[in-house]
């Protein structure tokens, strides 16, 4: 019976195995069908791996947003990325987390290096770690600028495809829709937004909204030209070519010039920010090397002289680092940032006591000083409100005053510490003292410290009193008169230094002077920005010429529309053009004449005079006919102007960028070695001549 059951069981298992094989063959045949394969492909496309990079960045975003210090940078970063990634929250979060993670991967090792090199100098370590806060912004800005440049380069191919699509369908909105179907490109999202604007119920109002969020001026120009072409129709020029496509070609040429300009600026400035900041990492290594090779220099590096030079190098590095950013800055997305930055100034200004202080210092509205500061902010294209500017000035002045007082106190403390802790011996010019000599020197220092503590604070102490105390001390029971006299001289010299190291009235005066410099620093930075912007005047006027060239042949375009377009794309001349647009209805000629009086740049004045001629006398296309006939000349002039601009900025950037490095090696290494070496040699010759 049992054998029969075993045989039945084996047959059953064999039957099941056969059924499984048949089922597998049938399933494989069904899987080969095209609809099944398509379903599996779709499933694979939407399936997300548990450890994919996208999921990790989304989780990191949720972590970063909860950390107070990092949240500030994350929010500021996503404001810029939101401009590029229109209405794509998922992509904005992923890119924000990715950029911030990459920045942290650079900053964290740098922090470890700073701590490793400056662990013996807590003050220097603290300053360097604070300085890292500013470096994070530069690293983040650089990464976002790369995305902005990537978008600009995508626009070149995008406009090329628009040309082909427009030839096929001869409709602006349809051509944009066809080209915008590639979801992987950043430019596709911009194209979809422009398409939605064009087909909306109120395209003019939607277009104005898009102008506020467009990542660069070239997309604004494209959206505006597309709207005008759809609204008023396309025209043919004298050669039978499409005016819309010709305008696209003009915008493409402008973008190509801008891309070349940015690439060259990036190449010139790619290492200047690092060169400007790197000297602060070498302060301690330079000091350690100098002391190890020339032991006599420790009296400088470990004393107050070394601290003063260190502080000056740190301040210079910080200033140069900021100026490098101002000189190089060419980000278009920065220009679109709204006045939501600097929230701490707004919060601080809401404080009742601080608001009273700011209102007391800030010039009253309507006064000459108020108009002067307001004009300064506008000329510098700063997004900072005047209240925030004075919050910055007051906070900076108070902070610098407190830090200066603390630094003077620290200088006195270091000087006294050096007297009490350094070995009391004659320094060799080269090398270090031996361990046995150092031990004897420290014993001498301890003996000196006993008498320093005894006479400390007694400013009328004489050398004879010190000698008298030494003779009746257990330290000098067996000492000779010469030894007592020599040590008494050394103790008296040290005592003079210790008793003189206290906070003096002129140091308070210096603190107030430094505070005033800090109070004026934001104004000086605005002036520097204006100087840098003046270098871009020619470039902006040439962009105005391109805009006029695109508009002048479109029907129903008048001088007022041209002024509105110029105002939309203006940066340096925005304020006077805005004023002209507001006054235009009261009198076109008079408004343009006032605009001509408000500006001093010759090439822009010529544009204004042509606009005046187009108001009453001649058509717009006749007033600006030289722009069309001399287009090639203006383009060559634009390229040459960019070359000069890059050359000037590069020269300024190199001077600023290398200044901290030069000061480090000249002011902190070479000059101390030469000066202290000469003083040591002079002292040695005096001793030798006295002995002889």
What averages of pLDDT result for each successive group of 10 residues across the chain (692 residues)? 49 55 56 49 46 78 85 82 78 86 84 77 71 75 82 88 86 87 77 88 87 85 87 74 85 86 83 80 82 78 81 85 76 45 74 86 86 82 82 90 87 80 59 64 77 78 80 75 78 80 85 91 86 76 84 81 86 85 87 85 84 81 75 75 82 88 88 80 66 56
pLDDT at position 516 is: 92
Q: Are 186 and 83 in contact (CB under 8 A)?
A: no
pLDDT at position 435 is: 67
Which residue reads 């904005």 in tokens?
92
Identify the helix (H) or strand (E) that includes residue 189.
Answer: helix 186-198
pLDDT at position 513 is: 92
Does the pTM surpass 0.85? The reply is no
Q: How far apart are CA 100 and CA 71, in angstroms?
A: 10
Q: Are 45 and 67 in contact (CB under 8 A)?
A: no
Angle at 662 between CA 656 and CA 665, to 5 degrees: 155
Angle at 237 between CA 231 and CA 242, to 5 degrees: 55
What distance lies between CA 36 and its chain's CA centroid?
A: 53
Reading the block at residue 616, the tokens are 């009453």
Identify the helix (H) or strand (E) that includes residue 129.
Answer: helix 122-169
Which 3 state secondary structure label does DSSP give 431? Answer: strand
Q: Are 313 and 663 in contact (CB under 8 A)?
A: yes
Report how far apart, in Å, the C-alpha atoms of 85 and of each of 56, 183, 189, 237, 466 are.
Answer: 20, 12, 7, 36, 78
| CA-based nearest residue to 158, from 234, 81, 212, 215 | 215
The contacts of residue 222 (CB under 8 Å, 6+ apart) are: 155, 159, 194, 248, 251
CB 603: neighbour CB atoms within 10 A?
A: 14
Helices (H), 214-282: 217-232, 243-269, 272-277
- Mutual angle of helices 463-471 and 481-500, in 10-degree steps: 130
pLDDT at position 542 is: 81
Query: CA torsion, points 245, 250, 255, 256, in degrees to nearest 10?
Result: 100
Q: How far apart are CA 419 and CA 304, in angstroms?
A: 11
Helices (H), 535-630: 537-551, 559-569, 574-583, 588-598, 602-616, 620-623, 625-629
Reading the block at residue 203, the tokens are 């395209």
Q: How far apart are CA 594 and CA 588, in angstroms?
A: 10
Q: How far apart are CA 11 and CA 9, in angstroms?
A: 5
Angle at 648 between CA 644 and CA 651, to 5 degrees: 135
Which residues, in sequence order, are bridge partners of residue 80?
none
Phi and psi for 234 in degrees, rounded to 5?
A: -90, 155
Which 3 state secondary structure label does DSSP give 584? Answer: helix
The contacts of residue 372 (CB under 8 Å, 6+ apart) are: none
What distance lies between CA 149 and its chain's CA centroid?
A: 16
pLDDT at position 238 is: 65
Q: Are 144 and 81 in contact (CB under 8 A)?
A: yes
pLDDT at position 515 is: 92
| CA-based nearest residue to 669, from 277, 128, 289 | 289
DSSP 535: T
Phi and psi for 184 in degrees, rounded to 5?
A: -80, -20
Helices (H), 53-121: 53-64, 68-84, 89-118
Q: How far apart are CA 200 and CA 220, in angstroms?
A: 17
Rounded to a whole number of angstroms, the distance between the first and last alpha carbons of the chain is: 128
| CA-based nearest residue to 77, from 154, 134, 146, 143 | 143
Q: Are 194 and 176 in contact (CB under 8 A)?
A: yes
């Amino acid at each position: 019976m049992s054998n029969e059951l075993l045989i039945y069981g084996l047959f059953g298992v064999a039957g099941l195995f056969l059924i499984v094989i048949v089922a597998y063959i049938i399933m494989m045949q069904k899987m080969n069908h095209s609809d099944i394969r398509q379903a599996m492909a779709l499933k694979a496309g939407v399936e997300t791996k548990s450890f994919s990079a996208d999921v990790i960045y989304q989780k990191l975003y949720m972590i970063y947003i909860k950390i107070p210090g990092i949240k500030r940078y994350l929010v500021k970063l996503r404001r810029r990325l939101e401009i590029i990634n229109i209405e794509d929250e998922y992509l904005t979060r992923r890119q924000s987390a990715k950029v911030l993670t990459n920045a942290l991967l650079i900053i964290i090792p740098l922090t470890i290096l700073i701590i490793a090199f400056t662990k013996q100098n807590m003050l220097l370590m603290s300053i360097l770690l604070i300085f890292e806060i500013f470096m994070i912004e530069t690293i983040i800005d650089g990464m976002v600028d790369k995305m902005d440049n990537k978008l600009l380069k995508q626009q070149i191919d995008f406009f090329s495809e628009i040309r082909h699509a427009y030839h096929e369908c001869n409709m602006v909105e349809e051509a944009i829709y066809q080209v915008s179907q590639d979801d992987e490109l950043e430019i596709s999202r911009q194209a979809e937004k422009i398409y939605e604007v064009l087909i909306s119920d109120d395209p003019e109002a939607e277009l104005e909204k898009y102008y506020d969020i467009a990542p660069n001026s070239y997309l604004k120009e494209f959206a505006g030209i597309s709207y005008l072409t759809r609204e008023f129709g396309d025209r043919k020029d004298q050669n039978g070519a499409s005016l819309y496509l010709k305008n696209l070609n003009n915008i493409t040429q402008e973008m190509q010039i801008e891309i070349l300009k940015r690439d060259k600026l990036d190449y010139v400035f790619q290492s200047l920010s690092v060169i400007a900041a790197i000297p602060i990492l070498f302060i301690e290594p330079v000091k350690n090397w100098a002391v190890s090779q020339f032991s006599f220099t420790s009296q400088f590096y470990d004393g107050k002289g070394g601290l003063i030079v260190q502080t000056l190098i740190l301040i210079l590095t910080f200033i140069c680092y900021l100026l490098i950013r101002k000189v190089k800055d060419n980000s278009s997305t920065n220009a679109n940032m709204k006045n939501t930055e600097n929230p701490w100034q707004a919060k601080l200004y809401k404080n009742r006591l601080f608001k009273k202080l700011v209102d007391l210092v800030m010039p009253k509205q309507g006064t000459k000083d108020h108009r002067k500061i307001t004009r300064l902010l506008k000329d510098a294209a700063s997004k900072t409100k005047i209240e925030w500017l004075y919050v910055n000035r007051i906070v900076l002045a108070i902070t610098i005053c407190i830090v200066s007082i603390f630094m003077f106190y620290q200088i006195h403390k270091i000087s006294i510490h050096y007297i009490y802790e350094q070995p009391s011996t004659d320094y060799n010019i080269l090398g270090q003292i031996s361990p046995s000599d150092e031990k004897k020197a420290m014993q001498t220092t301890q003996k000196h410290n006993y008498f320093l503590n005894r006479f400390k604070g007694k400013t009328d102490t004489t050398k004879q009193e010190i000698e008298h105390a030494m003779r009746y001390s257990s330290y000098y029971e067996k000492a000779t008169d010469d030894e007592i006299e020599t040590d008494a001289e050394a103790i008296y010299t040290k005592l003079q230094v210790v008793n003189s190291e206290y906070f003096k009235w002129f140091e308070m005066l210096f603190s107030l002077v430094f505070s005033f410099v800090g109070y004026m620093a934001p104004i000086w930075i605005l002036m520097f920005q204006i100087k840098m912007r003046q270098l871009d005047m020619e470039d902006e006027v040439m962009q105005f010429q391109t805009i006029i060239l695109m508009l002048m042949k479109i029907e129903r375009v008048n001088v007022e529309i041209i002024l509105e377009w110029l105002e939309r794309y203006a940066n340096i001349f925005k304020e006077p053009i805005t004023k002209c647009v507001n006054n235009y209805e009261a009198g076109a000629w008079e408004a343009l004449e006032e605009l001509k009086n408000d500006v001093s740049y010759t090439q822009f004045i010529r544009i204004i005079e042509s606009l005046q001629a187009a108001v009453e006398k001649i058509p717009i296309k006749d007033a600006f006919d030289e722009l069309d006939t001399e287009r090639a000349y203006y383009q060559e002039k634009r390229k040459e102007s960019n070359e000069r601009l890059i050359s000037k900025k590069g020269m300024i950037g190199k001077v600023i960028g290398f200044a901290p490095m030069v000061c480090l090696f000249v002011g902190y290494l070479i000059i101390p070695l030469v000066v202290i070496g000469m003083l040591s040699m002079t002292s040695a010759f005096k001793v030798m001549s006295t002995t002889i």
